[in-house]
Amino acid sequence: IQVSAFDLVVFGGTGDLAARKLLPAMFQRDRAGQLPDEGRIIGVSRRALGHDGYLDFVKKSLSTYVKASELEPEALKRFLARVHFVPVDVTGESGWPELASLLASGNEAVRCFYFAVSPDLFAPISERIGQFGLITDHSRVVLEKPLGKNGESAHAVNEAVGKVFNEHQIYRIDHYLGKETVQNLMALRFANRLFEPLWNSTHIDHVQITVAEDIGVGDRGGYYDTSGAMRDMLQNHIMQLLCLTAMEPPDAFEADAVRDEKLKVLKALKRIDERNAEHMTVRAQYRAGSVGGQPSAGYLEDLGNDTSSTETFVAIRAEIANWRWAGVPFYLRTGKRLTKRTSEIVVNFRPISHNIFDATAGRLSQNRLILRLQPDEGVTLEVTIKDPGPGGMRLRRIPLDMSFVETFGVSNPDAYERLLMDVIRGNQTLFMRADEVAAAWQWVDPIHAAWAHNDQRMHTYAGGTWGPSAAIALIERDGRTWLEDS
Ligand code: BG6
């Protein structure tokens, strides 16, 4: 179904995110027939590009990030006709009147301002948008992460944007929430009889959430070094996955109902601070190694700086202090330059209460539910069955496997496609509310403080491994193992 008429104004229109994600996502939605004729994409940047110069940028981005077979000439032509460009000095005055008059021609269209720029610019851009009277009843703003560096700076960003936009107009994006498997987690939990009765500490032993990347920091070192794995991935993506796994059933699949439940999880996280951080957290940085058979450089070398103490890996043993989850550890980890790109949520069930089989049946394994976010999205439920054949009762664990691509024969749309359409439709369910972001920082800030206060050891790991041995020790100390070691 087509969305309504819109103007999508992308600040940072010539940036990396626009090139890699936003333009390709809009192009795909256009190909799918979801964009109405009155849908415009307005790139804004301080670069002095003319209209044609910007079209060249868009074409280059699409030819780099969209499969050649999907770049049909007709589709490309239709898409390019939607594209406009306005050079704007976002902290000054120039360009704003031109942007205002272009927007005025869009009349009643839904107006989405996308801030794909550094968060220092969120406040000045919001202020100018207000000053130039660009906000209509149908306006929205999308904020890209990072939303601050800690609770205090996130609060300042929210205040500044909040002076101009209401909370119901603010879309704080976490693209992990747009991933198909993440939404499927909610379908699985709340559209099946099977799982929810078991979804608690009586039946679940522990949960593992891993977001592993094989890439290093690439040319994003400037940003990444001020951020680290904790702020770049854990505070947002992983904590959101944790919330959706652990939250109580909302009474409806609606923005505030879902976000109220996620907020309760964040608030129930047991505090980690200088008293227990050494025990509950591991931070580490990658050194040289080898990824996929190719030699890989260390972080300091990638960065061109030999003093940085930014972590590129973090592992945390988290606990949720509420009735449902008391005593069930959530092991969280994320890192760059690990063995492979893989993201998954692994729900490990407790052993059966009594084993009726004798020793010849073999060791009984526990049920596991594995949600693979990427690369091959799908769900696996591991169950124990009898090994086929006349050899007596031998038990073994097999996967009941569902791969989305195999089952549905199509690859999933990129998360940004779904989320951009939600912004235009005005659906905030998959976006973060201000209080959620604040609560996530409230948990993360004391960990950063503890690392500094205790001068906690920065472990290192060779590129292409699963991280430092300390991360393995973090889980093995509890008599458990990470999925890849089991
Ligand atoms: C971004 C981080 O939010 O997510 C990047 O800033 C990271 O450092 C990326 O590489 C991972 O996203 P995805 O969708 O490729 O898993």
- Active-site residue list: 237
Q: Are the C-beta atoms of residues 460 and 284 closer than 8 Å to each other? A: yes
| Residue 365 CA from chain centroid, whole number | 31
Count CB-CB contacts under 10 A for residue 132: 14
- Whether residue 180 has its Cβ less than 6 Å from ligand 1: no
pLDDT tens-digit series, residues 244-295: 999 999 999 999 999 999 999 999 999 999 999 999 999 999 999 999 899 9
Domain ranges of the chain: 6-144, 177-485
Radius of gyration of the chain (CA): 24
Q: What is the pLDDT of residue 403?
A: 84
The residues near 424 (Cβ < 8 Å, ≥ 6 apart) are 3, 4, 6, 8, 110, 112
Residue 145's pLDDT is 87
Instruction: Look up the pTM and report it.
Output: 0.95
Which CATH fold would you assign to the domain 177-485?
Dihydrodipicolinate Reductase; domain 2 (3.30.360)
Q: For residue 446, is the peptide bond before it cis, meaning its omega torsion is within 30 degrees of 0?
A: no
- What is the ipTM metric for this complex? 0.98
- Whether residue 232 is annotated as binding a ligand: the answer is yes
Contacts of 309 (CB under 8 A, 6+ apart): 285, 458
Q: Which residue out of 17, 176, 209, 213 has the highest number of ligand 1 atoms within 8 Å of its CB and is therefore the one to mutate?
A: 213
Query: Scanning the structure block, which residue is given the tokens 């060791």?
Result: 363
Q: Which residues have a Cβ under 8 Å from the Cβ of 295 and sit 6 or more positions away? A: 288, 289
Cβ-in-10-Å burial (0-12, 13-18, 19+) of 65 comes to middle
pLDDT (tens digit per residue) in 214-255:
999 988 898 899 999 999 999 999 999 999 999 999 999 999
Return d(Cα 445, Cα 273) in angstroms, integer.
9
The reply, when asked if residue 213 is annotated as ligand binding, is yes
Q: Report how far ligand 1's centroid is from the alpha carbon of 233 (Å).
A: 7
Bridge partners, residue 359, by sequence: none
Question: Rounded to an integer, what distance in angstroms lies between the CA atom of residue 84 and that of residue 422?
Answer: 22
| Cβ proximity of 242 and 209 under 8 Å | yes
Annotation-wise, does 67 bind a ligand?
no
Atom of ligand 1 nearest to the CA of 220: 8
Centre of ligand 1 to C-alpha 99, Å, is 31
Q: Is 46 annotated as a binding residue?
A: yes
Task: List Cβ neighbours of 279 (8 Å cut-off, separation of 6 or more).
Answer: 317
Who contacts 318 (Cβ-Cβ below 8 Å, separation ≥6)? 242, 269, 270, 272, 280, 329, 330, 331, 332
Residues of the chain with pLDDT under 50: none
Cα-to-centroid distance, 77 and ligand 1 (Å): 30
Sequence-distant (≥ 6) Cβ neighbours of residue 82 within 8 angstroms: 30, 35, 39, 40, 41
Which residues, including other chains, have CB under 8 Å from residue 485's CB and lie 6 or more apart?
472
Closest CA to 444 of 323, 337, 332, 346: 332
Which of 180, 232, 311 has most ligand 1 atoms within 8 Å of CB, for mutation? Answer: 232
Residue from 199, 176, 205 nearest 249 by CA: 199
- Provide the CATH number for the domain formed by 6-144 in this structure: 3.40.50.720
The Cβ of residue 384 has, within 10 Å, a number of other Cβ atoms equal to: 16
Residue 373, phi-psi category: left (phi > 0), alpha (psi -120 to 50), beta (remainder)? alpha
Q: Give just the sign of the alpha carbon dihedral 386, 389, 392, 396.
A: negative
Q: HSE-up of 49 (CA within 13 Å, CB side)? A: 21
CA–centroid distance, residue 378 to ligand 1 (Å): 19
Sign for the pseudo-dihedral over CA of 116, 119, 122, 124: negative
Q: Is 77 flagged in the annotation as binding?
A: no
**Cβ neighbours around 301 below 10 Å, total:** 13
**Pocket lining: 232 vs ligand 1, CB cutoff 6 Å:** yes
Choose the residue to mutate in 22, 65, 175, 377 for probing ligand 1, maximizing ligand atoms within 8 Å of C-beta: 175
CB 360 within 8 A of CB 272: no
How far apart are the C-alpha atoms of 130 and 162, rounded to whole Å? 11
Minimum CA distance residue for ligand 1 atom 10:
213
213 in contact with ligand 1, CB cutoff 6 A: yes
Burial of 160 (0-12, 13-18, 19+ CB in 10 A): middle
